[in-house]
């Protein structure tokens, strides 16, 4: 009897250690060793063809568009941080080769197209999005489809390998659009512009678009419900977490730093946080049209706000979008109570395993939430 208890105890201990290990692996920060580990394993299993099509193409980056040399003469140019200089030199460049296309994604009418901004290396995030809110499916008689939009890594040593892995990943999932430009925070606007162009070419039948990050919890079931009740994709719709009354950040240390050399304006038009935006096809088209007449502004969600303003449209706030996390009203701490998440449309900043667990918890048929529960803030 004693021995049995001992073995049982050992087994439980082993299981606990094991699951902690898995949680740790799943939740390690972006660009950690985990993804390359997983991807390497995938690479080993699949025999790659000797030369892939992508290999020849990817060496072209940068050669397509010439530097605007006159920006070098702008007063104060040489004192700018490297990424600002880079932005000024190349901001007129918009034509980049589409390395991976999905021409059949919208062959059947799509009700909600999920367009997720992702980085070449964020394999873990993409996998979790595929398993949870980004699952391609039909609900309430309408179709949900998914694409990830990625570009190219600036790391030349990693590039060949990263693209081969992406090839394998895409073969299985058929959900990656990739362009031949360097992925960086200041090139996000370019990525968004090219996705709008792609919509115009390959997906004019979509009714609505969700455009957001790959580390959010998006309650796509609730989104469909909300969109079904808000009418057709042929009307203006642009909702999310509304940001207004702000302007360019002039602090050099900030990720969002915009010096006067880029704009002297002190204010931004109202816009919706780029973590998650829900819009109609009508509005995406209006933004696309306006974007062709405006200079690409390096912060993508602000740029969309500028395009809306130009088109004479305005963004709207929706209470279901929480880009700063969900706080429990009783403790004011970040909450993981699935009852809160069940009612929302989007919450920002989830690591992959949190996303999976929360999605499961919200969809647990036995989940009981009291009606009187305080609303989260």
Ligand X SMILES: *[C@@H]1O[C@H](CO)[C@@H](O)[C@H](O)[C@H]1NC(C)=O
Integer Cα distance of 82 and 360 in angstroms: 43
* Nearest partner of 133 among 300, 324, 278, 329, judged by Cα: 278
* Nearest partner of 110 among 340, 284, 293, 331, judged by Cα: 284
Strand partners, 137: 144
* Nearest partner of 270 among 314, 239, 321, 205, judged by Cα: 314
Name the residue nearer to ligand X (CB basis): 87 or 341: 87
Name the residue nearer to ligand X (CB basis): 87 or 195: 87
Could you give the strand order of the β-sheet that contains 346-347, starting from the edge strand earlier in sequence?
Answer: 217-218, 346-347, 321-322
Name the residue nearer to ligand X (CB basis): 150 or 203: 150
Name the residue nearer to ligand X (CB basis): 87 or 303: 87
Name the residue nearer to ligand X (CB basis): 291 or 335: 291
Q: How far apart are CB 304 and ligand X at their closest, in Å?
A: 18
Q: How far apart are CB 103 and ligand X at their closest, in Å?
A: 23
* Nearest partner of 86 among 300, 262, 254, 304, judged by Cα: 262
Q: Which token pair is 37? A: 């580990």
Q: How far apart are CB 81 and ligand X at their closest, in Å?
A: 10
Name the residue nearer to ligand X (CB basis): 22 or 74: 74
Integer Cα distance of 315 and 244 in angstroms: 10
Give Dmax over CA atoms of the chain in angstroms: 85
Name the residue nearer to ligand X (CB basis): 83 or 342: 83
Q: Which token pair is 47? A: 């025999």
Q: Which DSSP letter does residue 257 get? A: B
SS3 92: coil
Integer Cα distance of 203 and 206 in angstroms: 6
CB 281 within 8 A of CB 209: yes
Integer Cα distance of 43 and 99 in angstroms: 20
Q: How far apart are CB 83 and ligand X at their closest, in Å?
A: 5
Q: How far apart are CB 76 and ligand X at their closest, in Å?
A: 12
Q: How far apart are CB 82 and ligand X at their closest, in Å?
A: 9
Q: How far apart are CB 60 and ligand X at their closest, in Å?
A: 9
To which residue do tokens 């081969």 refer?
A: 164
Q: How far apart are CB 221 and ligand X at their closest, in Å?
A: 36
Q: How far apart are CB 266 and ligand X at their closest, in Å?
A: 20
Integer Cα distance of 33 and 351 in angstroms: 15
Name the residue nearer to ligand X (CB basis): 90 or 321: 90
CB 177 within 8 A of CB 311: no
Name the residue nearer to ligand X (CB basis): 92 or 266: 92
- Footprint on this chain of ligand X (rule: CB under 6 A): 61-62, 68, 70-71, 74, 83, 86-87, 90, 92, 181-182, 184, 186-187
- Output phi, psi for 176, to 5 deg: -120, 125
């Amino acid at each position: 009897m004693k021995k049995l208890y001992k073995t049982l105890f050992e087994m439980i201990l082993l299981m606990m250690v094991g699951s902690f290990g898995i949680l740790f692996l799943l939740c390690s920060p972006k660009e950690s060793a985990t993804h390359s580990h997983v991807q390497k394993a995938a690479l080993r299993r699949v025999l790659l063809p000797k030369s892939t099509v992508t290999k020849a193409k990817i060496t072209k980056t940068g050669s397509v568009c010439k530097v605007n040399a006159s920006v070098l003469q702008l007063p104060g140019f040489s004192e700018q941080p490297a990424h600002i200089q880079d932005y000024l030199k190349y901001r007129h460049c918009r034509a980049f080769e589409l390395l991976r296309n999905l021409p059949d994604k919208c062959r059947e009418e799509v009700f909600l197209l999920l367009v997720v901004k992702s980085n070449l290396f964020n394999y873990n995030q993409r996998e979790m999005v595929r398993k949870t809110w980004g699952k391609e499916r039909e609900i309430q008689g309408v179709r949900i489809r998914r694409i990830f939009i990625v570009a190219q890594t600036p790391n030349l040593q990693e590039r060949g390998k990263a693209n081969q892995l992406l090839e394998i990943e895409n073969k299985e999932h058929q959900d990656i659009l990739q362009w031949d430009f360097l992925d960086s925070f200041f090139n996000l606007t370019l990525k968004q512009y090219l996705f709008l162009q792609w919509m115009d070419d390959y997906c004019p039948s979509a009714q609505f678009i969700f455009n957001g990050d790959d580390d959010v919890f998006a309650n796509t079931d609730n989104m469909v419900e909300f969109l079904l009740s808000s009418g057709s994709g042929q009307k203006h719709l642009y909702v999310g977490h509304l940001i207004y009354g702000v302007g360019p950040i002039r602090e050099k240390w900030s990720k969002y730093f915009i010096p006067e050399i880029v704009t002297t304006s002190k204010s931004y038009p109202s816009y919706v946080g780029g973590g998650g935006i829900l819009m109609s096809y009508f509005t995406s088209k209006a933004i696309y049209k306006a974007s062709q007449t405006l200079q690409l502004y390096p912060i993508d969600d602000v740029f969309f706000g500028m395009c809306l303003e130009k088109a004479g449209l305005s963004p709207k706030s929706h209470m279901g979008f929480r880009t700063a996390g969900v706080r429990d009203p009783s403790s004011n701490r970040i909450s993981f109570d699935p009852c809160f998440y069940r009612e929302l449309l989007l919450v920002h900043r989830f690591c992959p395993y949190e996303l999976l667990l929360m999605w499961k918890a919200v969809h647990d048929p036995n989940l009981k939430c009291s009606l009187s529960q305080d609303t989260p803030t």
